Chains A and B, each alone.
Chain A
Amino acid sequence: MSSQKKLVVAHAPYWHDGSKISSKNYNIMIAALPAVLMGISQYGAPALAVIAFAMACAMIWEVVWNLILKKPASVGDGSAAVTGLLLGMLMPATAPWWLIALGTLIAIIVGKQIFGGIGFNPLNPPLLALAMLVISFTGIFDFNESLRHYDLGFVMTYPLADLKAFGPEAISKFGLGDLFMGRQAGAIGSTFGLGLIVGGLYLMLRGYMRWELSLSFLAGVFITALLFNLSDSAKYAGPLFHLLTGYTLIAAFFLVPEDSSSPANFIPMLIFGAMAGMMTVLIRNIGAYVDGVVFAVLLMNLCNPLLDKIRPKAIGKVVENA
């Protein structure tokens, strides 16, 4: 016998394409940067504080949960940081610290960890937290109210609130170009349309996001808004306005394509996105809430397990009793 070497055995395959959860999440953060930086440049230090505090809190809740349950540390995968970042981006710059601490607690613990952690959350964690906060603290998420001390050199009323209160004539003061370039009141990271689109395209091209979900969501918003607008343009705003205001773009590129709460098969992805887009406009135009994105996406999250049952027949599958 020759000298025995200690070899490592494992099961096939021995190659891997090198992808990791952490690099995926870091890339999502990179993609979110343009919109975040725009928000920080507009609202200054308070916006930076909200974003930083939200990310820190989310990661701390994750660590605390892991310590309490004696589970291996999972904060390194970047998932908690992404959740915190997205929740921060959905908040107004004036959000108080306790709101952020509470919101991230809901997102990490209630939204994700009690279901078993990453990959098991049936609902989008930042959106679930936001929905609870919006219902509980309506005043803070009334952007006209919370941003009243800011004058950034453009119309400082929240476009969707104006639309809800005064109808489409009231929104003629918002130029589409201004809305696209982030010159509108709103949450820190959700107003800069160009930045969000660039970030979204980056994620799509790198393969970190399912493009079907984003594009079908945008198509759902566009087509539904267009139909409303065609039926009565004096009552309903145009489709581009709906695309560029509120949470539409951040939802399309960062919230709808969240992995665990959205379908993975092709046709379900299209249905999921389109239905979420449709619900968004329905809530905005008919419902009670100013922005329908949060509840529309959460509602579709609930349909996800059912939708994902629509799948192609596996090759070779034998259908009995057919």
Chain B
Amino acid sequence: MRPLILSLLLLAAPAFGQTATGDLGLVIERATGSLVLIDRSDRAAVGRIEGLGDLSHATMTYSPDERFAYVFGRDGGLTKVDLLTQTIAARTVQAGNSIGGAISDDGRLVAVSNYEPGGVKVFDADTLALVADIPAAGKTIGLVDVPGRRFAWAVWDTGEVFLSDFSSPDPVVTMIGNAGKNPFDAVLTDDAHTFLVGLFGEKGVTAFDLWTPDTPPQKFLTDYGKTGEDMPVYKMPHLQSWAFTEGQYALPAVGRHEILWVDRISQTQTATTPVHGQPVFIIAQPASPYVWVNFATPLNDVVQVVDSRSHEVVATLTPGKAILHMEFAPRGAEVWISSRDDNKVLIYDTKTREKVGEIAAESPSGIFFTARAHQTGL
């Protein structure tokens, strides 16, 4: 049996048995429901996987062995992709409309955040069999994995924040407080201490202490931009890669052309950086003082680099049209940038900030390197 399976796999993908996945990644082609498999070391596209449905606003996470990707599609599709064979290993359309997901710290459970019907569904990572169905009173957002086989999320319509514990056979779901009006996304700090929930319906960010969940939530940044008129928000900021650097949070000001800097301990605002547009992603360049920022339409052809010590913009790049996402090499040497309307992924050296390569992709959005498998909260 074993030789038969092996030889079959060898037919399907000649490189099987020789390919390591540690420097691979996937790029979402949002309009065509496909993924481009990329090799970071070779700066090359090495394959394409098709048939994943509506991938607008798609995201993914990886199995601990970096072999499988779990792709969360807009149309409620959850697809398990095998990077070695470049095929779909399993797929389930588990809701009408979903927004993201996470994998448990032990790699055994995959949770999906759904808009329609609102709630969270949890699946066996091997088989994609349903393990738990947790309904919500609205659209769930900001789903993250928390150490100890747990997940946390918030509800857009009600502001409620939940922590679920799957460490025992009977999962326990606890409402740990209310973040405020219309939370739009949330993020877990790198030490898994604080679950930060960004608000759209009112000013502010609410912090939940997950080390001591009995602590009442703390709301901060409740009056930023008080002196000026807010602008229309043409794209919701994303918080999943919120930058934590130099003892600070670097946060997007909703409806304003600003990055807000908040002291991590005191949760007070320490500085404001005027930037090119409304920030969408603010991502820390690993092992450096810099954060990179992209912007909402129609100002989305620019990327800026900000120094977290001086809070000054130190570089303004124009990599291409409709810059949707940036993904750093795990040690920070390169950043891969998707240019949706140029149908390219652009590769920049972070030291020279010069372009060192590019690959073709159809309307690329999210870029995900396999190193994410080992990051809590992604």
A binds B: no
List B residues at the A interface (Cβ < 8 Å). none
Interface residues of A (CB under 8 A from B): none
